[in-house]
C-alpha cells in the first residue's frame, strides 16, 4: 500500500530544525539588558515584519490539444482537450524580525482550472473543474548564524516535450527543510523533504505516480591541509506506480565516504579511498558494497602512474556476486609530441550460488603522437592490447545489474554476450527511476549470438539518452578466450591556406580471438576488422562531414556511410538560425538488414521588435529499415513572445506527425498565455 502524503511531518521536522537553531543562537548571544542580538546585523530590537518587494499579476492560459493514434496492437483512438486557467499570482520578499533572522520569498498562484476532454476512455471523458494552487516558498532563517536553516515548499506543473509525440504533464509537490552547521570545522548539510510527482501523457500511455521521503546528510572535513574527508548519505522511502505494470515500494540507503590524502613534499601525489554502500529493497533489490583505492604518483614532470584497486560485493536478493579488479597505468610524455601509456591489470568475479568464477588478465600499450607539420597539425595513434579470460562452467543464470549504455540512432544497443535470457531484460533511465516499456519505448531483436535493442521513435527514450540495463545470462560450459588486438589512427588538420578547416582522418582496428570450450556447444570467436575514414570541413559557419565505416566480424558485421552538414549563424542580438542535416546508411551483412536514416533540424529565432520575439523549429526524420519497415516523422513548433511594460503575451503552436508500417499518430497543441503584472 502506498504511504500517505506527509507534508505535515516535513513541516514539523523543519520547525524543529528552526527551533533548535534559533534557540542555540539566542541562548548564547544576549545583550547586557537581556535583549536579543541579530547575528550579522547591528544590535537592537527586532523590527517585526518588513516587506521588501511585492508584485501581483493576473494570468490567463488556454490550451487545446489533440492526439490521434492508430496502432496494429492497440487499435485507433482520438483524444481532444480544452484547458482554461485563470490565476492571480503573487511574488514577494519579506523579512521577519531582521533580514538575517528570517528571509522569506514567496511565489504563489491561485485560480480556477476547467478541463473539457473527449476521450474513448470513460474515466477521463467529460468536464472537470478545480481550484488550482501553485506555489514556491523559501524561508532562510539565521543566514549569518552558526546553523542557517532553510525551509521550502513548492508545487509546480510543467510539460515535458517528446519528439514526434504528445507532451507529458508533470506535477511535482515538495516540502522540505535543511540546516547547515559546523561551518568552521566540518561544513555539514542535513536535508529532509517529502516529494510527490505525477506524470501522464495525453493518451494515457504514460501514467506514473511517485511518492518519496528523503533524509540526506552531506559533510566535508579538512583535518589538515593535506587531507580531506567527505561523507554523503541518503535514505529514500519510495512508492511508485507506472502504467507499464510497475507497482513497487522500497527503501533505499546510499552512503559514500571519500578520503583524499595529498602526498609528497610538493603534494603532487595523492591517495583517494572511497567506500560506497548501496542497499535497495523492493522489486529491483540491490545491495552493493564497493571499496576503491586510487593512488596517483607524479614521478617526474614527464612520468606519472596510477594504481587502481576495486573490491565489490553485490546481491540482488537472488544471487550474490564478488569482484576484485586491479589496474596499473603508467604514462610518459616526451616533450609535447609523444604520449606513451602502459596499462596492465586483472580481476576475478565469483558467483557462489552457481559455482562460477571468471578470471581476467589484460594489458595494453598506447602511443599518441602530435606534431606541427606544413599547413597544419598531424595526430597519430597506435595501440596494442591483449586479454585472457577464463570462465568456469556456469550451471545457472548470472544477473547483471545497471549496465550503462547509450542509444545512438541508427545503431542499436547490442548485448553480445552468449546465452542472454531475453525475458530478463529491464531498461531504466540513468537515475534508475523510470522503467521503460518494451514495445512502447523499445524493441528487442533476438539473434543466435546477440540481442539488439532499438528505441521506438515517439516513445520515452530520446536519441543520445543514457540508460541502465539489467539482464541475465543462462548456463554455459567452461571456456577460455584469448584476444589480441591492435589499432592505429591518423588525423591531418589543415590550419593554413585555402583548405584551412579541412581534416582528414583514418582509424583501423583489428581483433583476433581464440576460444577453447566444450565441443558440444558452439561458442563463436569474434574476429573483427574495422576501418573508419572520413573528412570534416569547417568553413566559416558551415561544417561538413563525410565518413565511411566497414566492419568485418563474426558477430554483427556491417558497412555504414554517414553524411552531415551543420550551419549556424547569428543575425544580431536575440536573432539566429541554424540547420543540421544528416544521412546514415547501414547494411548489416549477417541479417541482410538495410537501414537508411535521414534527419533535418532547422531552428530560427528572431527579435522582430523591441519586446517581440519569435522562434520556429522544424524536425524531419525519415527511416527505412528492411526488418522493421518505414517510419517518417515531421514536427513543427512556432512560439511568439510579446512584452510591453507590465503586459506579456505568449502563443505556442506545435504539430507532430509520425507515420509507420505498424503505427500512425499525429498530435497538435495550441497554447495562449496572457499576463498583466501590477
State pLDDT tens for residues 488-526: 999 999 999 889 999 999 999 999 999 887 765 556 678
Is residue 96 a contact partner of residue 84, using CB atoms and an 8 Å limit? no
Q: Is pLDDT at 323 greater than 90 in this prediction? A: yes
pLDDT of residue 203: 63
Pick the range with the lowest mean pLDDT from 59-63, 124-128, 130-134, 670-674: 124-128
First-to-last alpha carbon distance for the chain, in angstroms, is 47
The grid coordinates listed for 235 are 535514505
* Residues ≥6 apart with Cβ < 8 Å to 519: none
Question: Alpha-carbon torsion 538, 539, 541, 542, what sign?
Answer: negative
The grid coordinates listed for 450 are 546477440
pLDDT of residue 41: 45
Pick the range with the lowest mean pLDDT from 264-273, 510-519, 560-569, 664-673: 510-519
Q: What is the mean pLDDT of the chain?
A: 87
Q: Which of 483, 571, 493, 481 is nearest to 528 (CA)?
A: 483
pLDDT-derived band at 120 (thresholds 50, 70, 90) equals confident
Q: Which residue has the higher pLDDT, 10 or 456?
A: 456
CA distance 294 to 260: 9
**Which CA distances in Å does 489 have to 255, 366, 368, 384, 504?**
42, 11, 9, 12, 11
> What is the average per-residue pLDDT within 217-226?
94
Phi/psi for 147 (5° steps) reads -145, 75
The grid coordinates listed for 121 are 476512455
Q: Is 407 helix (H, G, I), strand (E, B) or coil?
A: coil
CA distance 46 to 108: 27
Q: Is 24 helix (H, G, I), strand (E, B) or coil?
A: helix
> What is the average per-residue pLDDT within 527-552?
95
Q: Which residue has the higher pLDDT, 563 or 399?
A: 563
Pick the range with the lowest mean pLDDT from 37-51, 489-503, 590-604: 37-51
3-state percent helix, strand, coil for the chain, nearest multiple of 5: 5, 70, 25
Omega before residue 200 within 30° of 0, cis: no
CA distance 83 to 68: 18
Please report where in the chains the cell 497538435 appears, as a residue. Answer: 668
Question: Alpha-carbon torsion 28, 31, 33, 34, what sign?
Answer: negative
CA distance 207 to 213: 21
For residue 664, the cross-strand partners are: 70, 659
pLDDT of residue 221: 95
E-strand spans in 518-556?
Answer: 528-539, 542-553
Q: Is 22 helix (H, G, I), strand (E, B) or coil?
A: helix
pLDDT of residue 524: 66
pLDDT of residue 40: 43
pLDDT-derived band at 227 (thresholds 50, 70, 90) equals very high
Amino acid at each position: 500500500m502506498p504511504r500517505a502524503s506527509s507534508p505535515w511531518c516535513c513541516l514539523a521536522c523543519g520547525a524543529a530544525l528552526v527551533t533548535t537553531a534559533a534557540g542555540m543562537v539566542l541562548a548564547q548571544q544576549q545583550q547586557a539588558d537581556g535583549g536579543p542580538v541579530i547575528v550579522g546585523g547591528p544590535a537592537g530590537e527586532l523590527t517585526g515584519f518588513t516587506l521588501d518587494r511585492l508584485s501581483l499579476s493576473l494570468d490567463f492560459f488556454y490550451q487545446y490539444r489533440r492526439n490521434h493514434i492508430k496502432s496494429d496492437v492497440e487499435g485507433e483512438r482520438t483524444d481532444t482537450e480544452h484547458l482554461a486557467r485563470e490565476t492571480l499570482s503573487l511574488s514577494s520578499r519579506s523579512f521577519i524580525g531582521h533580514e538575517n533572522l528570517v528571509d522569506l520569498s514567496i511565489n504563489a498562484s491561485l485560480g480556477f482550472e476547467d478541463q473539457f476532454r473527449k476521450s474513448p476512455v470513460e474515466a477521463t471523458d467529460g468536464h472537470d473543474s478545480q481550484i488550482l494552487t501553485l506555489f514556491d516558498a523559501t524561508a532562510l532563517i539565521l543566514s549569518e548564524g552558526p546553523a542557517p536553516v532553510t525551509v521550502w515548499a513548492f508545487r509546480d506543473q510543467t510539460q515535458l516535450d517528446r519528439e514526434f509525440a504528445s507532451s507529458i504533464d508533470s506535477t511535482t509537490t515538495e516540502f522540505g527543510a535543511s540546516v547547515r552547521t559546523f561551518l568552521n570545522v566540518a561544513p555539514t548539510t542535513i536535508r529532509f523533504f517529502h516529494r510527490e510527482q505525477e506524470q501522464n501523457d495525453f493518451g494515457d500511455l504514460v501514467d506514473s505516480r511517485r511518492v518519496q521521503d528523503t533524509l540526506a546528510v552531506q559533510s566535508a572535513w579538512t583535518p589538515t591541509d593535506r587531507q580531506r574527508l567527505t561523507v554523503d548519505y541518503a535514505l529514500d522511502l519510495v512508492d511508485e506506480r507506472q502504467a507499464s505494470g510497475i507497482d513497487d515500494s522500497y527503501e533505499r540507503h546510499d552512503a559514500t565516504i571519500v578520503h583524499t590524502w595529498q602526498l609528497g613534499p610538493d603534494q603532487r601525489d595523492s591517495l583517494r579511498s572511497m567506500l560506497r554502500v548501496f542497499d535497495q529493497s523492493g522489486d529491483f533489490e540491490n545491495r552493493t558494497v564497493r571499496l576503491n583505492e586510487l593512488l596517483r604518483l607524479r614521478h617526474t614532470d614527464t612520468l606519472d602512474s596510477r594504481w587502481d584497486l576495486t573490491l565489490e560485493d553485490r546481491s540482488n536478493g537472488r544471487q550474490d556476486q564478488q569482484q576484485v579488479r586491479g589496474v596499473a597505468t603508467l604514462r610518459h610524455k616526451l616533450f609535447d609530441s609523444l604520449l606513451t601509456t602502459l596499462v596492465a591489470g586483472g580481476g576475478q568475479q565469483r558467483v557462489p550460488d552457481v559455482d562460477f568464477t571468471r578470471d581476467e588478465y589484460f594489458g595494453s600499450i598506447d602511443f599518441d603522437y602530435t606534431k606541427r607539420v606544413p599547413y597544419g597539425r598531424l595526430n597519430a595513434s597506435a595501440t596494442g592490447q591483449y586479454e585472457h579470460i577464463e570462465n568456469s562452467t556456469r550451471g545457472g543464470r548470472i544477473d547483471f545489474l545497471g549496465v550503462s549504455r547509450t542509444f545512438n540512432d541508427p545503431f542499436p544497443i547490442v548485448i553480445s554476450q552468449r546465452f542472454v535470457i531475453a525475458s530478463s531484460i529491464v531498461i531504466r533511465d540513468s537515475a534508475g527511476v523510470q522503467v521503460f516499456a518494451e514495445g512502447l519505448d523499445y524493441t528487442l531483436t533476438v539473434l543466435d549470438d546477440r540481442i539488439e535493442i532499438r528505441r521506438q521513435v515517439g516513445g520515452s527514450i530520446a536519441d543520445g539518452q543514457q540508460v541502465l540495463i539489467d539482464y541475465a545470462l543462462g548456463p554455459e560450459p567452461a571456456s577460455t578466450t584469448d584476444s589480441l588486438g591492435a589499432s592505429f589512427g591518423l588525423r591531418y588538420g589543415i590550419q593554413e591556406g585555402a583548405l584551412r578547416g579541412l581534416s582528414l582522418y583514418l582509424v583501423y582496428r583489428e581483433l583476433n580471438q581464440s576460444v577453447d570450450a566444450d565441443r558440444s556447444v558452439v561458442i563463436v570467436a569474434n574476429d573483427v576488422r574495422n576501418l573508419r575514414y572520413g573528412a570534416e570541413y569547417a568553413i566559416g559557419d558551415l561544417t561538413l562531414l563525410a565518413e565511411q565505416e566497414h566492419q568485418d566480424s563474426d558477430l554483427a558485421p556491417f558497412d555504414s556511410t554517414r553524411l552531415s552538414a551543420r550551419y549556424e549563424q547569428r543575425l544580431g542580438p536575440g536573432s539566429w538560425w541554424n540547420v543540421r542535416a544528416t544521412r546514415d546508411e547501414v547494411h548489416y551483412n549477417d541479417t541482410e538488414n538495410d537501414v537508411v536514416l535521414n534527419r533535418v533540424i532547422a531552428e530560427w529565432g528572431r527579435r522582430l521588435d523591441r519586446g517581440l520575439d519569435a522562434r520556429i523549429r522544424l524536425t524531419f526524420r525519415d527511416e527505412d529499415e528492411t526488418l522493421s519497415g518505414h517510419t517518417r516523422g515531421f514536427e513543427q513548433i512556432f512560439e511568439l513572445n510579446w512584452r510591453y511594460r507590465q503586459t506579456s503575451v505568449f502563443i505556442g503552436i506545435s504539430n507532430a506527425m509520425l507515420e509507420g508500417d505498424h503505427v500512425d499518430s499525429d498530435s497538435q497543441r495550441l497554447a495562449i498565455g496572457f499576463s498583466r503584472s501590477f
